[in-house]
């Protein structure tokens, strides 16, 4: 039995096809350039050829786009279902208002959560999300614009700073405007994570997402980098939530 796990994020479409024991058979990821429904139409034949028995979907793209996605998936004649945040999930409870908790953020936590640990799960995507979980109970967290969004906001909000090139490679003081901007932005996130670690010394820290390696090299607390926590969470969700027939 093969299942397809589909992640529609803010900038990318990703999927896994897994076998009946959760091993990845094939996978892919594409930037959707703000046209995810159109990109998915292009994937429809591929999904049909993969012939999964079920498609589980995570989407942060809103009701209008999700309706278009559902129309495309319906043409495949394969059962599919969208994930909805469940603050009383068997594997993960939460103090958070479920209507305010993004499904991508929640699935990242679900993908890492361990009821035997205190954990800090950090998603390094379009937004940087920092969430604390105490023995599989989500306590809440923090949301930052990522390093690139912070840079864009600074450039758009000032007349004197117009440098859009540079690297996020150091948190030491910069000696040019470009270096000071990039290092200051990086320090704002790294410093926040280090401060959270200082206040929560018994927590295991896990980073996921494209910018995880950039942040990890500047953190003082031991960390783990895990790829594709969201897709892991998507699989775990449907292990305990039988797909609708």
Q: What angle do the packed helices 147-157 and 177-199 form, to 10 degrees?
A: 130
CATH 3.40.50.2300 fits 3-82, yes or no: no
Fold agreement (3-82, 93-231)? yes
Q: Which residues pair with 88 in a beta bridge?
A: 93
CATH of region 93-231: 3.30.420.40
Q: Does 111 score more than 60 pLDDT?
A: yes
- Note the pLDDT of residue 245: 46
The per-residue b/e assignment along 117-131, b for 16 or more CB within 10 angstroms, e otherwise, is ebbbbbbbbbbbbbb
* pLDDT category of residue 178 using cuts at 50, 70 and 90: confident
Reported as a single tens digit per residue, the pLDDT across 117-169 is 999 999 998 899 999 999 999 999 999 999 999 998 888 887 666 666 788 99
Q: Is 104 a catalytic residue?
A: yes
Q: Which of 7, 19, 28, 104 is catalytic?
A: 104
The per-residue pLDDT for 157 is 81
Average pLDDT of the chain is 92
Map out the domains of the chain as residue ranges. Answer: 3-82, 93-231
């Amino acid at each position: 039995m093969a299942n397809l796990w589909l992640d529609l994020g803010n900038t990318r479409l990703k999927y896994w096809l897994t076998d009946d024991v959760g091993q990845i058979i094939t996978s892919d990821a594409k930037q959707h350039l703000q046209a995810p429904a159109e990109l998915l139409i292009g994937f429809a034949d591929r999904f049909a050829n993969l012939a999964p028995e079920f498609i589980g979907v995570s989407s942060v793209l809103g009701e209008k786009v999700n309706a278009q996605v559902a129309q495309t998936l319906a043409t495949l004649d394969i059962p599919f279902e969208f994930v909805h945040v469940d603050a009383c999930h068997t594997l993960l409870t939460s103090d958070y208002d479920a209507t305010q908790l993004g499904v991508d953020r929640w699935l990242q936590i679900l993908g890492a959560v361990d009821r035997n640990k205190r954990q800090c799960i950090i998603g390094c995507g379009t937004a940087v999300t920092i969430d604390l979980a105490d023995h599989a109970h989500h306590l809440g967290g923090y949301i930052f614009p990522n390093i690139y969004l912070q840079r864009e906001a600074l450039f758009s909000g000032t007349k004197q700073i117009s440098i859009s090139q540079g690297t996020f490679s150091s948190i030491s003081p910069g000696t040019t405007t470009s270096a000071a901007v990039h290092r200051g932005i990086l320090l704002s996130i790294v410093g926040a994570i280090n401060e959270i670690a200082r206040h929560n010394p018994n927590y295991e820290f896990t980073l996921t997402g494209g910018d995880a390696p950039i942040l990890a090299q500047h953190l003082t607390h031991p960390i783990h980098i895990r790829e594709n926590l969201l897709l892991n969470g998507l699989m775990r969700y449907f292990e305990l939530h039988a797909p609708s027939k």
